[in-house]
Every structure is written in C-alpha cells, then in structure tokens.
Amino acid sequence: MRLFVEINRNGCDVDAIIYTTLIMKKVERGYELLDQMIQQGLVPNQLTYHLLMLAHKKKEELEEYIELVNEMHKICCTPDLNIYNTVIRLGEIKEGARLWNEMEASGIRLGINTFLMMINGFLNQASCEHFKEMVDKGIFTSPQYGTLNELMNSLLRAQKLELTNDT
C-alpha cells in the first residue's frame, strides 16, 4: 500500500494504530492487514477486531463474528460491551445467554441495551426474568417510555400480554 511505502520512506515504523486505521478504511482487506500486523509482532486491540466485526455485522455473519471473539480471547484481548451486544443482537438466545454469563464473569457492567436485547430474545420463550433483573439492579429505576413501549410492543407481537401484569 502507498501509505506503508510513505511511512517507511520517512523512517517511521508502522504500528498497531496505523494498521487499525487502515482496516477501518479498507475493511475488505481487513484480514490481510490483521495477518500482516500480527506477523510484525503488533498486538491488535478491541477496536481492530471491532472494525473487522462491523463488516460481518452488515452481512449478519454470526459464525465469523464469534470466531473473531474467540481469536480475541486467544490473544488476551477482552471483548467490550459493544462487541458482546452485537453478537447477542445477531445470535440466537442460547448463544446470547452464554455470552451474558461470560460478560458477567468478566466483570463487564451490563447496560440497558444488553437487557433489552435479551428481553426481546427471551420473549419468544415466555420469560421476563431479565427485565425483572434490570429493575432489581437499579438500571431501570424510572419510567422510560421508549423502553417500556418496546417491551410492550414485543409482548403484544408475541401474543404474551399476560406477562405485562408481572412488570
């Protein structure tokens, strides 16, 4: 790439930040750049992997996304909440529950978006436990119209209106 030639010509080293920036600009060559980065002894970070994952998110390729998460674990790069949330959003509820437990075990603080994704996923299984847990943990302490509206709409679509009496 031209940028590498220019950087080397000016006597500078290519670092992880430059590789990550290139991956952001050239996602179609992301894996090639990731391999080059690792071969040079540079360590990819959460952003590097997240940029690669975004390409799969658009195509909804869950298997590739999970494979990248596993690669992150191999190099001791812990996925962050955004990465986990995207996997949960794309995945099946069983995979979502596994990742939920992994996040809690890693000490990642779960946000309202994570709870809402799990609630929506579990509604098909007639469970509102995550909503109740959200209330118990103080994440949902005041009425939030958008959140309640989304929950109610999901319950209506799933024809589980009787569950609204529990919330």
Q: With 80 as the cut, is the pLDDT of residue 154 above it? A: no
Distances (CA, A) of 121 to 9, 13, 42, 89: 53, 46, 38, 9
What type of residue is 156? Answer: L
Separation of alpha carbons 7 and 133, rounded Å: 52
Structure tokens belonging to residue 39: 């071969």
DSSP alpha helices (H): ranges in 44-144?
46-59, 62-74, 81-90, 93-106, 112-123, 129-136
Q: CA angle, corner 166, sides to 98 and 119, nearest 5?
A: 25
Name residues whose C-beta falls within 8 Å of residue 69's C-beta, 6 or more positions apart in sequence: 49, 79, 83, 87
- pLDDT above 90 coverage of the chain, percent: 12
CA distance 123 to 129: 10
| Interval 54-61 mean pLDDT | 74
Structure tokens at 143: 């009425």
Q: Is the whole-model pTM more than 0.85? A: no
Is pLDDT above 80 for 82? Answer: yes
